[in-house]
Structure 1
Amino acid sequence: MKKIFYAFIISVIAAFILNKLVFQDVPEKDKQKLLTEVQLYKHPVKSISMGYPDNSDLKVLDSILKGNRILMLGENTHYDGATSQAKNRLIRYLHENLNYNVVLYEAGQYDTWIMNEEMNHHSMKVPADSIGGLGLYWFWEATRESRPLISYYQKTKTSRVPIEVGGFDIQLTGSNLYKKRAQLLKDFLDKNKINLNSFPVFSKGINHLEDLIHKKQADKVLKGNQKKFIQEIARLEQIVLKLEKTPENKMYALYFNDMQNYFIKSWKYKPRSMPSMQFRDSLMARNLIHQIDSVYKDRKIIVWCANIHTFAERYDKNYLPLGAYIRNKYGKASYMIDFSSYAKKNFKGSIGDKPGKFAIENVFHETKTPYFFINLRNIPESSPLKKEFVSTINQGIDQKKAWNHFIDGIFYIDINTEHNLLQKK
C-alpha cells in the first residue's frame, strides 16, 4: 500500500515539475521588453467607425503605403464584426485619400462581377439592400457592420471616382444569386446560340449548382456522371472562349473554368485540409493576378480576405497561401495587414476567446489601447517584434512564428464583437 502511495506522490510531483517546465509563465523581463517595444511602435487609432470625422489617426498610412499597389486586408475569422467596421473605415479613407478604387473579395469571381454590374446598371432591378448578396457571403453584406460599406460602394458609383467591386475565388458565394444562377446561365447560352441540350449532364445539374458541391447531392442528381459533368463544363468553356472577346464573354469563360475547379476541389479534397487550401489558393492567385494585371491594370487595389490567405510566406510544406503568390510577383508593391484581438464579446455581452498566456495579444491588451496599428516593416531587426513570438492572428490559434515574414502590419482591436445579422424583410 505504501508503495502505491509513494508512486502516487512521485507522479504528482513529476506532473507539477513538467507543468512548470512546459507551461511556465513568460519571464517578466521579456514581457516588459515586449511591452516597451509595442508601446514604442504602435500607432493608436481613435475609432473604427466608418463615419468618424477626424482622419488624422490614419494619416500614418500615407507614408507606409507610398509606392504600394496591392493592399491585402485580412480578418482573423469571417465573423468578427468589429474587424469589418475597421475595414470599412480603412477602405473609405484609402478611397478618398490614397486613390484606391478597386476592392476584390475572397468571393466568387463571377458572382461579384454580377454584383458590380448590377451596382453600375441596375438592369436586374435588385433592391439596393440586396445587391451585396448577389456576390458576397452573408457576413460581408447582410450584417449591421457590413451594410454601411455596401451602401458606400453604391454611392461612389455616381461619383467622379467610383469603386469597382469584384472577387477572385472559384466558389459560388452569392446567396441572393441562388435562384437566379441557372436562368442567367441559360440566358447567356441562348443569346450565343449554344444549345444546352447538347450538354445533357450539365443540363441536369444546372438548377442545383450550389448543392452539387456535396457528394451525396452530386450522386443523387448526376447519377455517378460527375466526370462527364466536368467534361461538359470544360467544353462549354472552350466554346465561349471562341466567341467575341467582350467583357461578358470573357467573364463567362472564366466562370466555367472556376466552376470546374470548384467541383473538383469539393469532390476530391477533404474540406479545410491543407491540400484543399493549396488547390484553392493557387487558383485564387491565378484569378487575382489576372485581374491586377489585365482587368484593373495600373489601378490601386484592396484585397479583402481571411488572415491566412494574406500570408506572404509558405505556411507548411503542403500549403502556399495566396499572399505568397502576390508577394513573389509584386514584391514591396504589396502590403499585408492582418487583424488580431485579445478577446471577443458575444451577443450576451460575455467576453471569451482569450489567447493563451504566451500570446502577444496579452501584451497588446496591457497597453490599454482599444485600437492600434503596428507597421512591422520599419521596425529594427533587433526588436523582439522582428523575432519569433506567439500570436493568435491565425484563426485564434496560438502559433509561434516570425510573423514579420508573413505579414507587414497588425491592426489590433482589443475586444472584438460578433457580426449582427440583419433580419430579412
Structure 2
Amino acid sequence: MKKIMPIVSMGFCVSLLAACGGSDEAASDGTSPQVTDGPVEVEFWHGMAGGLGETLDELVQEYNDSQEDVIIVPEFQGTYEELLTKFRSVGGTQDSPGLVQVFEIGTKYMAESGHVTPIQDWIDRDGYDITQLEENILSYYTVDDDLYSMPFNSSTPALYYNKEAFTEAGLDPEQPPETLAEIKEAAEALTKDGQYGFSILGYGWFFEQLLATQGVDYVNMDNGRSGDATEATFNGEEGQRVFEWINDMHDEETFGYFGQVWDDIRAAFQAEQVAMILDSSAGIKETVETASFDVGVGFIPHADEAERNGVVIGGGSIWMANGISEEEQEAAFEFLKYLQTPEVQAEWHVNTGYFAIHPDAYEQSIVQQEHENIPQLRAPIEQLQETIPSTATQGALISVFPESRQHVVTALENMLQGTDPKEALDQAAEGTNRAIEVYNRSNQ
C-alpha cells in the first residue's frame, strides 16, 4: 500500500502541545488530565483476522509513520462475538481500549452501554462534514439523529452465480435473475446431477436482507428506532413469503443446504455443486480470482409482489470509549477522520472488497483500475446506492440480535426437515419475543 499523508488539524497539534505543557483543564471524565511527553497512544481493538488483519495493520502503520503526534496500537481480539464479550468486561474501566470495532448488530448494546462517547460529539466539536460520506452506510449507525460510531468495514449481500452454468442451461449469463420467482425458475434450469440451482447460508443476515428489500421491519417500534422493540414482526406475510420460497425449492430439490459455515457454502460454489448463492459483497474479489469459471454478481432478489427497496448495511464500525482522556479521544478522532479520506478508503476497498465509506474513493485511479479488472465489484455498490432509505433498510436495533438470528436459523433448518414454513417462522418470532422481554425487563 502506498504512503498516504493524513491531514492533522492545527487545533489538534495545539491541544497536544498544551497537554505536554501540563494544562490544568480536567479530562472529559472528570479525572486529572493526562500529561504526555510524546505521542498520544490509542489502543484499538479489532476483529480483523488473516489477510484483513494484515491490511489493517499496514494501514495503521502508515498512519503512525506519517505523523508524530499519535500512535494507534491495533490489537486483534478474536471474532466479533469474542471481541464484544471482552469489551463488556472492561468497558468503563482503565483497561478499556480507546477504540473498539463492533459488528453492526452490537449497535444497540454499545449505544446503551454507557461506556462510549458518540462520534457525533466530536463531529460537532470539530465541524467535520459528515455529509461527504455514504448516507446509506451512515444510517445504520445513526440513533436519534446522532452518529454513534464511525463505519469501517461495510458490506451487503449479493447474488453470486456461475456464468458458464447459466450458458449451459440456456440462461443469459449477463442477465441474472432479479426476483424470487426468477431465482426459482433459474434454479430449476440449473439443477442437474451433482449441482443444485441455488443455496443460502444458514445465517440470519440473509433472511433479514430478503425481508428489508420488501420494505418491512424486522421488529416493531419502527425497527427499534423510535423506542425499544417489544416484539418481532418478521413472521408476517413478507417473512413467510421468503420461507415458503426456500421450502418450495427444497421440495423441488433445486435448493441445496450446506449448513451455517461460510467456508462450506463457498467451497460448494467453487466446486460447482451449486450454481447460485447469496454471499457477502466483501468476498467478490477473492471468489472471482480463485474460481475456475466466470463468476457473475447481481443484486439480491426481491419479492415479485414488492418493488426492490434495497439492502441493510452489514459488517462493523469503530466506537470511541469514554473512559480515556480528552487528548486520547481527540487523537482517536483524528485517526477516524484519516480512515475516511478518499485515498485511504480507495486502498481499503481495493485490498479488502469492503465498500468505500467516502464515495469519492471510487473516483481514485486505483479503484477505477480495479473495477476495470473486476467489474463484478460494481454491482453491490450500485445496489447500495439505489437503496431506498427507510426504517426497513436502515436496519433493526435490538440488543438480542445474535440470539434472534440463531432462532431464525433454527427455524430454517427445522423447515428443511419437514416443519411447516409458517410454524417454523412463528417459533423463531416467539423465541425472539421471549429474549426481548427478558432483556427489556432486566433493563427497566
What TM-score do the two structures reach when normalised by structure 1? 0.25
What TM-score do the two structures reach when normalised by structure 2? 0.24
